[in-house]
Amino acid sequence: MFITFEGPDGSGKSTQVPLLAEYLRQQGFDVLTTREPGGTRIGDQVRAILMDMENTAMRPNTEILLFLAARAQHVAEIIRPHLEKGGLVLCDRFGDSTLAYQGYGHQVDLGILRQMLRFATGGLQPDLTLLLDVDVETGLQRRRRGGDEWNRLDASELAFHRRVREGYLEMAAAEPQRWRVVDASRPVEVVQSAIRAAVSAALPAPR
């Protein structure tokens, strides 16, 4: 089973994913956690280009191709092999991040992006996607408080982040069988129990 985590910046994915992984491992699942962009040696190199503050000249199309390059490598090298041996993969961001950020955020044509995503992933789709939803102001504030480096991507304006969030909510509403929306403005433990409940309901019985 392939489970992805999506959400605006500062929605708390990087806190929640390891907690869920620990819980699922205790239940006997063979869990692999990974994140995008990155997850492979090549992907981490691409990530460094994307996050470099000096790369202010980067065009939206360049950015898309870099995210997709990292993803193609990630799917082939890490995600598919683990799924093929019967494991469970938890991934912090995946294709829906490209649709939300580059599509809804930077307003690149969604139809073209979907085609490019199919090319990059070989058609791999998550079985379940958790949207950790938080309003834009809360998300960006959390981010700053956490002392996270204010990277190049974060420097875009509020309006951009609002479109991203709206995009996520729209995608979740359009495909309710795959998406679960979790209110991530609540305390960590409360959000974690909501995630566990949603995932447990979707999982096969552990071996």
In Å, how far are 50, 141, 199 from 44, measured between CA atoms? 10, 26, 28
In Å, how far are 15, 89, 160, 200, 207 from 204, measured between CA atoms? 25, 14, 38, 8, 9
Tokens 């829906």 -> residue: 96
Among 73, 98, 129, 192, binds ligand TYD (CB under 6 A): 98
Among 93, 163, 165, 180, binds ligand TYD (CB under 6 A): 93
- Contact criterion met (CB below 8 Å) for 92 and 13: yes
- State which residue, 14 or 127, has the beta carbon closest to ligand TYD: 14
Q: Using CB under 6 A, which residues numbered 133 to 192 contact ligand TYD?
A: 153
Beta carbon of residue 153, minimum distance to ligand TYD (angstroms, whole number): 4
Beta carbon of residue 177, minimum distance to ligand TYD (angstroms, whole number): 23
- State which residue, 29 or 121, has the beta carbon closest to ligand TYD: 121
Two tokens at 82? 């683990």
Provide the binding-site residues for ligand TYD, judged by CB under 6 A: 9, 14, 36-37, 67, 93, 97-98, 101-102, 153
